[in-house]
Amino acid sequence: MKIAVFGATSAIAQAACRIWAGRGAEFLLAGRSADRLEAVKGDLTVHGAQTVVVCCCDLSDTSRHAEIIEQGERAIGPFDLVLIAYGTLPDQALAETDFLQAQNAINTNFLSVVSLLTELAKRMETRHSGTLAVISSVAGDRGRQSNYVYGAAKGGLSIYLAGLRNRLFHKGVKVLTIKPGFVDTPMTAAIKKGPLFVKPAVLGAGIVRAVDRGSDVAYLPWFWMPIMWIIRSIPEGVFKRMRL
């Protein structure tokens, strides 16, 4: 299987890739740290990957996306599976008062992903095959005062993915929306860990399982599905009074 990973140095992406490497997958790994990409390449090779090609790039720069995808497919062949895993968790307080902070967060977590998906969808659509697996977040299911800028970006992404899935279903292409809860990764290093936190390996296994099953939306771990159902069900008049 030929797999492209955008944000390949993400702890969650690495956990999923280790499992795919064990199945002898071929990889294009895109990320912005050359050293860390080389480290991931070494790790996946040890775990059984057949071919690993790395591409060092800042994925928030949309001007290079078409070229990166073109070169990636030339290097390993047409992608069977794409995992989009990069993201940033902005400082909510800063993003409330400084538009540039909010703009950067929305660009990285939403708009730049739309740019990649636009190019990738065109290619998979003409081939009538492939899976686009994209990491969104439970934070996108409802706006909360503690992280609504990040939540808005992920919520927009989830809606975009639902529409894309509806369009590409008729073309034989699968779109998987991954909605993790709290995961213990560098992104959440500054957050106090509670009982709902899980390790990246749990997410990696969940992502691989969801891709294998051809799922549409995967809450990971599963218990976030009922939690978010309850959170979405709270009437707005009550919700706005809560401190979440």
Ligand X SMILES: NC(=O)c1ccc[n+]([C@@H]2O[C@H](COP(=O)([O-])OP(=O)(O)OC[C@H]3O[C@@H](n4cnc5c(N)ncnc54)[C@H](OP(=O)(O)O)[C@@H]3O)[C@@H](O)[C@H]2O)c1
**44: CB partners within 8 A, 6+ apart:** 17, 18, 21, 27, 29, 52
Considering only 7, 130, 155, 206, the residue that binds ligand X (CB under 6 A) is 7
Question: Closer to ligand X at the Cβ: 108 or 131?
Answer: 108
Question: Closer to ligand X at the Cβ: 92 or 137?
Answer: 137
**What's the min distance (Å) between Cβ of 184 and ligand X?**
7
The torsion angles phi and psi of 33, rounded to 5 degrees, stand at -115, 110
Residues 95-114 that bind ligand X (CB under 6 A): 108
Considering only 4, 135, 164, 208, the residue that binds ligand X (CB under 6 A) is 135
One DSSP character per residue, 169-190 reads HTTT-EEEEEEE--B-SGGGTT
How many whole angstroms separate alpha carbon 20 and alpha carbon 14?
Answer: 10
The residue range among 73-81, 158-166, 177-185, 227-235 that interacts with ligand X, by the rule CB under 6 A, is: 177-185
**What's the min distance (Å) between Cβ of 17 and ligand X?**
11
Which amino acid is residue 15, in one-letter code? A
- Residue 116 in 3-state DSSP? helix
**What's the min distance (Å) between Cβ of 171 and ligand X?**
25
Q: Is 12 one of the binding residues for ligand X (CB under 6 A)?
A: yes
How far from 32 is each of 101, 111, 168, CA to CA, in Å?
20, 18, 29
Q: Is 206 one of the binding residues for ligand X (CB under 6 A)?
A: no
Query: Nearest-CB residue to ligand X?
Result: 87
Site string for ligand X, 18-37 (x = CB under 6 A): -------------xxx----
Residues 180-199 that bind ligand X (CB under 6 A): 180, 182-183, 185-188
Question: Closer to ligand X at the Cβ: 194 or 235?
Answer: 194
Q: Do 21 and 40 contact (CB within 8 A), yes or no?
A: no
- Residue 192 in 3-state DSSP? coil
Query: Which residues, in sequence order, are bridge partners of residue 53?
Result: 28
Active site residue 150: yes
Question: Closer to ligand X at the Cβ: 7 or 206?
Answer: 7
Residues 41-60 that bind ligand X (CB under 6 A): 58-60
- Which residues are known catalytic residues? 150
- Residues forming contacts to ligand X in the complex (CB under 6 A) are 7, 9-12, 31-33, 58-60, 85-88, 108, 135, 137, 180, 182-183, 185-188
